[in-house]
């Protein structure tokens, strides 16, 4: 009997099982993986096609490194930022500069290249030659405590927007994401962004200021019972921090048919990593700009009037990255894929870092028209060994492709959290993945 011809849908389904960008180039490798770890990959593309990659290194071994670095945790830990450039599409990378802050992201404004992050206070530096030379880093805040990651930068008219977490309630023990307040930073694109006066910063509550148990009781959140102001020990090497949010991405809904569309163009939404002990949700906040330029943060509501603190998002439990493609108006999401978050803690693989939802060796790609209904586009990269992590992604559009940077590991990595590589991946012809 003659075999029926494979349909286009069946062929597409079979191809989607293959990783989209399994191969990679190493941007940076730790020479001391047991004491120096790789964090915060960020990526941008210049008009000339040059790719710019930022990262930072942490761990107790950083104290011994030469060059600029900054201390954290009252001088007990150090962080050091690094920047690399590629002029061949990410095949090879060249080191350009080190800088004394972390949690940084690169972005362009009016032809200038900026890198903004934090060393407790907000820090920024600039390049006016596509990353070959750099200004001295300057502070944008004084005596404050910030947190963040290399999340997206949003452009709207004459302004750009990015979001960072401010440490508002600092008295919570352990990993304090309950006390973080996601604040939006806005600046005119043509301004001198090294000047603090160029920036307006939104107001924002900390997570524990807006949380009401009754509003989330029917969602199965939090997944594990936690203490209010300190972590809870759930088993050997298994700790659940108080529920919170962090690492916000900014989106703006420009479709007039979207329930949350603002015809004045003055409303942004933040999608944040949600630390709940579970998977499948991101935290949501709304930022409204007043006529005087002030930005206020609140919790969005659905048509019933109920507050929407959480929304469905694949991989929302770990750091993710969202960009809006100006050519199609689709939102693209790259995130970590969970496959066994319902496993009992006593049955987890020995290589799993902390809780079941901390699976870090599978990157996935989705697209959406509205940031609620996400369509699966494919696995970006995956490994069967949990130390070979592929997580904490950032990405930018490079022609018809997505250029992706992520925290990675190999056999020398300490574990999936404390990784030893920053790797570059290319998702080719990404728009063809939509359907």
Long-range CB pairs of 8-17 (<8 Å, 24+ gap) are 12/435, 16/376, 16/377, 16/378, 16/379, 17/379
Residue 215 pLDDT greater than 80, yes or no: no
- pLDDT tens for 77-134 read 899 999 999 999 999 999 999 999 999 999 999 999 999 999 999 999 999 999 999 9
Ranking 54-58, 139-143, 214-218 by mean pLDDT, the lowest is 214-218
- pLDDT tens for 151-173 read 999 999 999 999 999 999 999 99
Residue 256 pLDDT greater than 80, yes or no: yes
- pLDDT tens for 170-189 read 999 999 999 999 999 999 99
All domains in the chain, ordered by first residue: 8-433 (2.120.10.10)
The reported pLDDT for the residue numbered 361 is 97
- pLDDT tens for 392-421 read 999 999 999 999 999 999 999 999 999 999
Confidence of residue 212 (pLDDT cuts 50, 70, 90): low
The reported pLDDT for the residue numbered 179 is 96
The reported pLDDT for the residue numbered 5 is 62
The reported pLDDT for the residue numbered 351 is 87
Residue 3 pLDDT greater than 80, yes or no: no
Outline where DSSP puts E strands in 93-147. Answer: 94-99, 102-109, 112-119, 121-127, 138-139, 146-147
The reported pLDDT for the residue numbered 11 is 59
Confidence of residue 216 (pLDDT cuts 50, 70, 90): confident
Mean pLDDT of 261-284: 97
Burial 192-203 (b: 16+ CB within 10 A, else e): ebbeeebbbbbe
Mean pLDDT of 302-323: 96
The reported pLDDT for the residue numbered 76 is 78
């Amino acid at each position: 009997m003659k075999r029926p011809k494979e349909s286009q849908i069946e062929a597409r389904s079979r191809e989607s099982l293959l990783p989209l960008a399994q191969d990679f180039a190493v941007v940076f490798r730790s020479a001391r993986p047991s004491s120096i770890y790789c964090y915060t990959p960020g990526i941008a593309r210049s008009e000339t096609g040059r790719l710019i990659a930022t990262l930072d290194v942490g761990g107790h071994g950083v104290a011994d490194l030469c060059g600029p670095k900054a201390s954290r945790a009252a001088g007990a830990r150090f962080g050091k930022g690094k920047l690399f450039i590629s002029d061949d599409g990410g095949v090879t990378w060249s080191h350009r500069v080190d800088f004394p802050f972390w949690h940084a992201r690169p972005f362009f404004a009016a032809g200038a290249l900026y890198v903004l992050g934090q060393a407790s206070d907000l820090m920024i530096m600039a390049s006016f030659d596509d990353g070959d030379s750099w200004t001295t880093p300057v502070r944008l805040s004084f005596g404050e405590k910030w947190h963040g990651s290399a999340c997206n930068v949003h452009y709207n008219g004459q302004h750009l927007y990015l979001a960072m977490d401010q440490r508002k309630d600092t008295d919570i023990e352990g990993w304090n994401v309950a006390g973080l307040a996601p604040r939006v930073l806005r600046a005119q694109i043509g301004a001198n962004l090294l000047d603090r006066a160029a920036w307006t910063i939104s107001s924002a509550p900390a997570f524990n200021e807006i949380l009401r148990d009754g509003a989330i009781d029917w969602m199965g959140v939090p997944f594990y019972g936690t203490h209010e102001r300190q972590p809870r020990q759930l088993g050997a090497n298994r700790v659940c921090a108080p529920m919170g949010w962090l690492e916000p991405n900014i989106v703006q809904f420009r479709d007039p048919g979207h329930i949350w569309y603002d015809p004045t163009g003055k409303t942004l939404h933040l999608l944040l990593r949600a630390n709940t002990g579970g998977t499948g949700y991101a935290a949501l906040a709304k930022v409204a700009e007043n006529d005087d330029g002030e930005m206020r943060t609140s919790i969005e509501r659905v048509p019933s009037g109920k507050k929407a603190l959480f929304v469905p998002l694949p991989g929302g439990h770990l750091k993710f990255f969202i960009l809006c493609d100006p050519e199609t108006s689709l939102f693209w999401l790259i995130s970590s894929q969970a496959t066994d978050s319902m496993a009992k803690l006593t049955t987890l693989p020995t290589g799993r870092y902390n809780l079941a939802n901390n699976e870090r060796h599978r990157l996935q790609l989705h697209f959406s028209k509205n940031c609620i209904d996400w369509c699966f586009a494919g696995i970006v990269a995956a490994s069967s060994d949990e130390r070979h992590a592929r997580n904490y992604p950032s990405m930018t559009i490079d022609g018809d492709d997505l250029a992706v940077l992520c925290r990675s590991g190999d056999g020398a990595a300490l574990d999936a959290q404390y990784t030893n590589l920053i790797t570059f991946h290319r998702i080719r012809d990404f728009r063809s993945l939509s359907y």
